[in-house]
C-alpha cells in the first residue's frame, strides 16, 4: 500500500531564519571563525536582506559561499559542538503553524521528511529534535575529521526534486496524497510534485511562480504567519509584492 508523506523545508518554513546563519554566529562566538569574515563580507549581505533591500535566495546563496569557505579545515569535533549549541539554544525558534503541521502529520501516521539546504549535520539534529521520519540536507564532506570544503548542495529545486524521487522509492510513497511545505524558489519543484502544496511566508520569486503556474495557482495554499496571527491567502488574488 502506498504511503502519504509530508516534505518540509526548514529555513524560513519551519525555522524562523537560517540554521546555517545561526551556526556561523556560534562559530564566531567560540573563536573558531575569524569575526572579521562576518564584518567584512557576510554582515553587509545580511543587513541588505534585513532591510528588505535584497533577494532572499541570493542572500542565502551568498552567505553559503562565505560560510563554506570560512569553515574549510575546521575539525569535525568543533563543528559538532557548535551545532549542538545551535539546536539546544535555537531549535524552538519556529513558526507555530509549521510546528503544528508536523505534529498533525506524525499523529496521522504520515512519513515526515525534512529536505533542507542547510548543512546535513544541522538538519539531522533538527530532525531528531522534532522526531521526524527521515531527512536530507546539503552534504558537507569531511576528510581526516576536517571539513574538506566540498559540499553536495540541497538548496536548489533540482536537488530537492531528485531527493523526493529517492524517498518515493524508499518508502513507496503516493505523491498525489502527499504534502510539501516550502518558502523559496528552491522549493518550487517540491511543491509541484505533490497533491497538497503549501507555501509558508513565500519569497517574492516563489509567490510569482505559484501564481503563474497552472497547477499551483489552483492547488497551493499560501500561509503567512505574522506575530500571533496566521493568514491563509488565495494564490489567485493579486497582492502587492
Report d(CA 86, CA 26) in Å as an integer: 7
pLDDT in tens, 68-91: 999 999 999 999 999 999 999 999
pLDDT for 238 equals 58
Q: Mean pLDDT of all residues in the chain?
A: 90
Report d(CA 89, CA 205) in Å as an integer: 31
Just give the CATH number of 5-233: 3.40.50.1000
- Which residue, 187, 51, 17, is CA-closest to 116? 187
Report d(CA 227, CA 208) in Å as an integer: 24
pLDDT in tens, 184-220: 888 999 999 999 999 999 988 899 999 999 999 999 9
pLDDT in tens, 93-119: 999 999 999 999 999 999 999 999 999
> pLDDT over 90 for what percent of the chain?
70
pLDDT for 53 equals 54
- Which residue, 221, 241, 204, 201, is CA-closest to 96? 201
Domain boundaries, the chain: 5-233
Averaged over 107-135, what is the pLDDT? 96
pLDDT in tens, 16-35: 988 998 999 899 999 998 88
Report d(CA 192, CA 155) in Å as an integer: 16
Averaged over 47-61, what is the pLDDT? 64
Give the confidence band of 45 by pLDDT, cuts at 50, 70, 90: low
| Close Cβ partners of 52 (under 8 Å, ≥ 6 residues apart) | none
> pLDDT over 70 for what percent of the chain?
89
Averaged over 61-73, what is the pLDDT? 87
pTM: 0.91
Amino acid at each position: 500500500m502506498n504511503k502519504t508523506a509530508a516534505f518540509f523545508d526548514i529555513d524560513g518554513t519551519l525555522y524562523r531564519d537560517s540554521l546555517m546563519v545561526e551556526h556561523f554566529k556560534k562559530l564566531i562566538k567560540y573563536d573558531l571563525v575569524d569575526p572579521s569574515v562576518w564584518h567584512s563580507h557576510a554582515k553587509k549581505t545580511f543587513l541588505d536582506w534585513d532591510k528588505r533591500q535584497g533577494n532572499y535566495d541570493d542572500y542565502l546563496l551568498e552567505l553559503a559561499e562565505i560560510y563554506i569557505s570560512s569553515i574549510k579545515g575546521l575539525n569535525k569535533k568543533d563543528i559538532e559542538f557548535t551545532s549542538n549549541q545551535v539546536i539546544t539554544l535555537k531549535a524552538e525558534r519556529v513558526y507555530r503553524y509549521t510546528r503544528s503541521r508536523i505534529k498533525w502529520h506524525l499523529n496521522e501516521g504520515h512519513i515526515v521528511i525534512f529536505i533542507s539546504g542547510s548543512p546535513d549535520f544541522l538538519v539531522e539534529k533538527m530532525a531528531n529534535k522534532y522526531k521526524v521520519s527521515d531527512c536530507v540536507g546539503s552534504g558537507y564532506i569531511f576528510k581526516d575529521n576536517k571539513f574538506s570544503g566540498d559540499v553536495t548542495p540541497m538548496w536548489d529545486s533540482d536537488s530537492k526534486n531528485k531527493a523526493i524521487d529517492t524517498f518515493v522509492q524508499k518508502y513507496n510513497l503516493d505523491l498525489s496524497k502527499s504534502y510539501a511545505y516550502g518558502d523559496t524558489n528552491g522549493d518550487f519543484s517540491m511543491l509541484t510534485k505533490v497533491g497538497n502544496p503549501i507555501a509558508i511566508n513565500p519569497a517574492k520569486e516563489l509567490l510569482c511562480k505559484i501564481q503563474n503556474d497552472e497547477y499551483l495557482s489552483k492547488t497551493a495554499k499560501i500561509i503567512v504567519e505574522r506575530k500571533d496571527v496566521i493568514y491563509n491567502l488565495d494564490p489567485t488574488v493579486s497582492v502587492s509584492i
